[in-house]
A and B are shown apart, each in its own frame.
Chain A
Amino acid sequence: MSHTPQISRRELLRGAALVPVAGALAACATPAAPPASTSSAVPVATSAANPFGVDAKKPLEVWIFDGGFGQQYATDIHQPLFKSKYAGVEIKHNSTKEITKVLQPRFAGGNPPEVIDNSGANKMDFGALAQDGQLQDLSPLLDAPSWDDPNVKVRDTIDPSVIEIGTYDGKFSVVGYVNYIHGIWYSQKVFKDNGWEIPKTWDEFLALCETIKKSGKMAPFTYAGKHPQYAYEPLLTMAAKIGGKDVLRKIDNLEDGAWKQEAMKTAAENMAEIGSKYLLQGTAGLDHVQTQTAQNKYQVAMLPCGSWLENEQKSTTPEGFDYAMFPIPDITGSDAMPYGTLHTQPGEEFMVSAKSAHPQAGMEYLRAMLSKKAAGEFSTLVKTVTVVKGASEGLTISSGVTSASAAVAAAGANTVYYRAFAWYGPLNDEAKAATGELMTGGLTPDAYLERMQKKADEIKNDSSIKKYQR
C-alpha cells in the first residue's frame, strides 16, 4: 500500500494543457475561422430593372433598430415596396433595441445579415466594421438608376452630405436615411405670449436669457445634462460658425492643436457662461426626456436638440405648444459663416454587410428605401425629414418639422457637420465627460480644451486605432 500511483497537481495541470481539448474549444469565444466559400453559384445577370443582380430565389434578412421611429416603417412601407418587384425573395424581418448584442456574434461567426439599421445607443462601431472590411461598398448604389426614374441616378436624389458622411476609407458604405437638423428649440406660444424675440446675435441671446431669468416664469436654458453630447453639439456648431467649416475638419482629422483654435475657445467660453448663469436647476443630472418634458411644462424656455425632438415628445407636448427652432446666433460680428448656419447630419444609418449571403438584395432594399414614395410615407409616419430630396414636398407635417425644413432651406450651403465622435468612441466619451464638467464649472474653458487636445493626441498616437480623414 505504500506506493499509491498518484498524480500530482502539477502533473495534472500539465496534462490538461496538453490535451487537444483546448484547441477544439477555441471556437467558443474567440472568432471562428471563416466558413468555406459557398457562393459558387453563377451570379445573376444585371439589367436596368435589376441593377445589382438580385437572385430571386435567395432570401433577404433585415434588422431594424426599434427606437424612436419604431419598426412599422420597415414592415409597412419599405418591405412591401421591395416585394412588389421581387415577390420571390423571402424577407426575414427582425428588430431589436440591442443591435450589438444580437449581431456582433453573427459578424464574428461569418454569417452577418444583409441589411442593418445600425442605430441607437447600442449600435455597432462603424469604424471597427470598416477596419475589418465588413461594410459593403455602396458606390454601385449611387450610380444605379433611381427607383422612381431610370434616367436619374440615386446619387442625384439624395442630399450630398449623405455621401460625404457615409464614406469610410474612400468607399461609400453607410446610408444615413434621416436628415437631423440641429438648433435651439422653443415654444412659439411662449415666445409670442411673452413678447420674446428670436435672438440674432449672441448679445441679444444673453439679453433674452437675462429677461427670462428676471421674469421668474421659467428658467432660460437647459440641455440633457446626463448626456453632455447635447452641450458639445451647439459648442462645436458655434465654433464652426465663428471660424468656418475648417475648424471642425481639423478636429475630425486629429490635427495638432485643433481643439485649441481661437474659435473653439470663444465657443467654450460662451457655453460655460450659459452653464454658470442660465441653466434650469438640476440640469446636470437630468436626461433628455426629463429636460424636454420640463420644457413642455413651461419650466424652461430653450434647449438645444435635433429635429427628432417633436416626434419624441409627441405624447407630452401640450396643445398649442408649437415647437420651432432657431439657429446659433451671430457671435463675433465677423463670423466666418453667415446667420442661419446650421448643423445638419444624416442619421439612422443603414448598412449592407459585405460578407452576407446576398449583398445584392441588400443594396436593392436600400434603393427601394431611397425612392420618393418610401421616403415620403416614412416622413409622414414618423414626422421627420429624410435625406431624399423633395420627398416631403406637399405633405402636411408639424410645426417643428416645418420650422426645421425652413431653416435648412435658408441655410443653403452653409451647413456644417463633424465625424470625429463616430470614428473615435474614446474621444466621444471624453468629450461628454469634459463638456459636462465645463457646463457645471468643474473645468475652465482653457482646461477643457487642453484636456480634449490631450485625448485627441492620445488617439492619434495609438497605432491600434484606425485613422480616418475628410
Chain B
Amino acid sequence: MLFNRYRRGLFIASFLAAPVILYVIYVISPNIQAFYMAMTDWRGVTATPNFIGLDNFQRVLGDSVFWKAVTHNLGLLVLLPAITIIIALFFAYLLNLGGDKGVSGIRGSTFYRVVFFFPQVLAVTIVAVLFQQVFRPDGSGMLNGPLMALGIEPVGFLSNSGIAFWSVLGVLVWQAVGFYVVLFSAGLAGIPRDVFEAAQIDGASRFTLFFRITLPLLWDTVQVAWVYLGILAMDAFAIVWVMTLQQGGPDWSTTVMAAEIYRNAFGYFRFGYASALGVVMFLFTVGFAILSLRLSRRERIEY
C-alpha cells in the first residue's frame, strides 16, 4: 500500500519536474531578480551594482511622469473595458439575435463577423503604424485630408496633448472589439434558443430580451472579457510606444507605466529604478486582478 503510494508519487513527480523547473528558471527567477534589482542602483553596464535598499521606491513617489502614466493606465482601465464590452455586446447581439425573427442575426451577419474580427489579425505594431497615417496632421492624413479639403483646420489627433489620449483609446477599442464580438457570439450560441423563443412568445421587447435574458446569461463571458481588457489596459505599451509622438507624448499625455519602465531602463540606463517601477506596476496589476474577480463575483445561473 505505502509502496504503491510512493511509486505513484514518484511517477507524478517525474512528469511534473521538467515543467516546474522550466517555470522556476524562466518565470519565477526573473521575477525575483526584478525585486532584487529594484533595490540596487544598477545602470545596466557594470558587473557589480550597489545595494541601496528602498531608495528607488522613495524616488517613485516623486516621479511626476510616472504618476501621469499611472493615471493614464487607470483611465484606460475604466474606459477601455467599458466601451469595448458595450460595443462588442451590441454587435454580438445584432449578429446573433438582431434579425427580424428574433433568434437569428441581421442580414449579412457572417460577413460582418469577418469584418469585425479583421483588426485582431493585424499585429499591434502594424495597427500603430497604420493609425499614424490615419491621424497624420496634414493633407496626407486619412482623416485630416478630407477635413482640410472642406476648409476645416486639421485636428492634431496625436500632436495635440488634449486629444492624443483619446486617439490612443480609440485605436485600442478599434483593435479589441472584434475579438470580443466573437467571444460573446460564442457565449450567445451556448444559451439555449428556447429561452429566447419563450420570452418572445411572452411578448418581451428586444430591450427586455437583452437586459433580462441575454446579459445575465452571458455574465461569465463578460467577466472574462473584463479581466482580459483590464490586462490590456494595464499594458497598452506597444500602441503607445510605436504610435504616439515622443513615445508617450506629446507632453507625456499618452504615456503608460510600461512605457516609463522601458524609457528608464533603455533610455536613461536606470535599470534599478526601472525595476522598482516594474514592481509598482506588478502590485497595480495584481491588485486589479484580485479586485475585479471579487467585485464581479456573482451567482452562476444554471440552465
Contacts and interface: CB of A to CB of B under 8 A. Distances in A.
Interface of A: 4, 16, 21-22, 25-26, 28-34, 100-101, 104, 107-110, 122, 124-125, 127-129, 131-134, 225-228, 281-282, 284-286, 290, 425-426, 429, 432-434, 436-437, 440, 442, 458, 462-464
B30 A28 contact: yes
Contacts of B46: 31, 107-108, 132-134
13 contacts: A30-B36, A124-B45, A128-B268, A132-B45, A132-B46, A226-B245, A281-B148, A282-B141, A284-B250, A425-B268, A433-B250, A434-B251, A463-B55
Contacts of B45: 104, 107-108, 124, 128-129, 132, 134
A285 B42 contact: no
Given A33-B47, A442-B161, A464-B41, A28 B246 contact: no
Interface residues of B, number: 53
B71 to A, nearest CB: 16
A226 B245 CA distance: 6
Nearest to A21: B24
Contacts of B148: 281
A437 B161 contact: yes
B169 to A, nearest CB: 18
B138 A282 contact: yes
A269 B24 CA distance: 58
Interface in B1-33: 5, 24-25, 28-30, 32-33
A463 B37 CA distance: 18
Interface stretch (B94-102, B151-159, B210-218, B232-240): B151-159
Contacts of A107: 44-46
Given A30-B36, A33-B47, A104-B44, A462 B137 contact: no
Contact of A442 (B28, B44, B59, B251): B251
A462 B159 contact: no
B144 interface: yes
Contact of A31 (B48, B55, B138, B144): B48
A228 B33 CA distance: 37
Contacts of B158: 285
B136 A125 contact: no
A225 B46 CA distance: 36
A281 B251 contact: no
Nearest to B270: A464
A347 B36 CA distance: 37
A448 B148 CA distance: 31
B8 to A, nearest CB: 11
B59 A281 contact: no
A135 B36 CA distance: 27
Contacts of A122: 266
Contacts of B62: 458
B160 interface: yes
A69 to B, nearest CB: 23
B20 to A, nearest CB: 9
A26 B45 CA distance: 16
Contacts of A124: 45, 269
Contacts of A463: 55
Among A4, A16, A107, A464: residue with most chain B CB under 10 A: A464
Contacts of B47: 31-34, 108-110
Nearest to A465: B270
B268 A284 contact: no
Nearest to B25: A25
Given A25-B25, A127-B269, A425-B269, 15 more contacts: A4-B5, A31-B48, A33-B47, A110-B47, A125-B267, A133-B46, A134-B46, A226-B245, A228-B246, A284-B250, A285-B159, A434-B251, A437-B161, A437-B250, A463-B55
Contacts of B37: 29-30
B81 interface: no
Contacts of A16: 24, 28
Contacts of A125: 43, 267-269
A284 B159 contact: yes
Contacts of A127: 269
Contacts of B137: 281-282, 284-286
B156 A285 contact: yes
B230 interface: no
A432 B159 contact: no
Nearest to A25: B29
B161 A28 contact: no
Interface centre among B44, B62, B148, B246 (most CB of A within 10 A): B44
A426 B148 CA distance: 37
A16 B251 CA distance: 45
Contacts of B5: 4
Given A28-B30, A34-B48, A226-B245, A131 B144 contact: no
Interface in B263-279: 263, 266-270, 272-273
